[in-house]
Structure 1
Amino acid sequence: MINIRKFEKRDIPFKVKWINDPAINKYLHYDLPLTEEKTEKWYETLEERHDRIDYTIFYQNKPVGIIGFLNIDKRNRKAEYYICIGESAYLGKGVALQATDLLIREANKTLGLEKIYLFTEIGNVRAQEFFRKVGFEKEGLLKKDLIYNGRYIDRFIYALDVKLYIKNSNGVNINEN
């Protein structure tokens, strides 16, 4: 069973472990290594912020990743989506798909979002396949969008029409094999 709950202080060690894992962070743009101290300072700012919401993903009550929205823009009813499955044993099992569905439905109810967008490096083909499977559509290419570790990063921008997603989806099924 998959569920998501708001990120809590006790989740910090998991986030630090996942983000510092080279198999996980290849396409993430964190100032590495991530430390528990730095993450605790970040966590302390969350309650005051209204521009983001962070959740921990659970698979059979075990924390396996993080998911959420950044740059929440209530006026324009849009936000930037992110996800990170931190436990590689749970990749390809439908966890990300189910967690994303839960997040989109929650955002539609509580935030009234109509558009969800994301950025992905052009080389991150596995993520792009996942985003298309969810229903995100590629809207464009942003050349030299970031400078990370001294190199330029080209990124695609994808977007999802939330109302269309809700209309065309009865929820997703998870393959628990």
Structure 2
Amino acid sequence: MKISIRKFEGKDIPKKVEWINNSENNKYLHYDIPLKIEKTEKWFEKNKDRTDRFDAVIEADGVPCGTIGLLSIDQKNKKAEYYIAMGEISLKGKGVSTNASKLLLEYAFNVLKLNRVYLFTEKENLIAQKLFEKVGFIREGLIREDIISRGKYVDRYIYGICKKDFLSEEY
């Protein structure tokens, strides 16, 4: 299976809405559910030309199957926040997210010339943590009661990876 990532386009909006609204996908996501096409179209128009974020679609053999990207791209400090949402349930656990994450990190370090990529994940999100560690992210700490999700305070871990570590390892 050939995995690739490409810039998110307007044509991807219906799939994104479908993926995010699927209860098998959104347990740890922070969206106003249900996501609506109209609201997502407005989000896309507002964000498509921004340089402080990179929103992409994961493709498996040319078929869209999830979203991945970088938020808060900070060229001054050479860092950005990573995110991923695998949409197609049938492709979970098949290495798609791992390969897409490696591609995104290569883009972050080699094209954007960033030095650090970080992420936040709920303490209970063990499957995501396995992915992050597999591609080289290091758990750096616990942020207690960091956000409110579904009406409750949630503890989150912060993970990070630096360019020198990513480029010196084979993940």
Q: TM-score range by the shorter chain?
A: over 0.9
SS of equivalent to 1:22: coil
SS of equivalent to 1:27: coil
Q: Does 1:13 align with 2:14?
A: yes
What letter corresponds to residue 150 of structure 1 in structure 2?
G
TM-score by length of 1: 0.93
Shift of 1:148: 2.0
Give the 4+ runs in structure 1 shifted more than 6 A: none
Which residue of structure 1 lines up, in the alignment, with residue 132 of structure 2? 131
Distance, in Å, in 2 between the alignment partners of 1:160 and 1:167 is 12
Shift of 1:108: 1.5
Q: Does 1:58 align with 2:59?
A: yes
The number of equivalent residue pairs is 170
Q: Does 1:144 align with 2:145?
A: yes
What letter corresponds to residue 103 of structure 1 in structure 2?
L
SS of equivalent to 2:14: helix
What letter corresponds to residue 165 of structure 1 in structure 2?
F
Shift of 1:109: 2.2
Which residue of structure 2 lines up, in the alignment, with residue 156 of structure 1? 157
SS of equivalent to 1:25: coil
Which residue of structure 1 lines up, in the alignment, with residue 83 of structure 2? 82
Which residue of structure 2 lines up, in the alignment, with residue 46 of structure 1? 47
Which digits, 9 at most, give the CA deviation of each residue in 1:109-128, with x for residues without a partner? 22111111000000001111
Which structure 1 segments of 5+ residues have no match? 173-177
What letter corresponds to residue 147 of structure 1 in structure 2?
I
Shift of 1:141: 0.6
Which structure 2 segments of 5+ residues have no match? none
TM-score by length of 2: 0.96
Superposed CA RMSD in Å reads 1.0
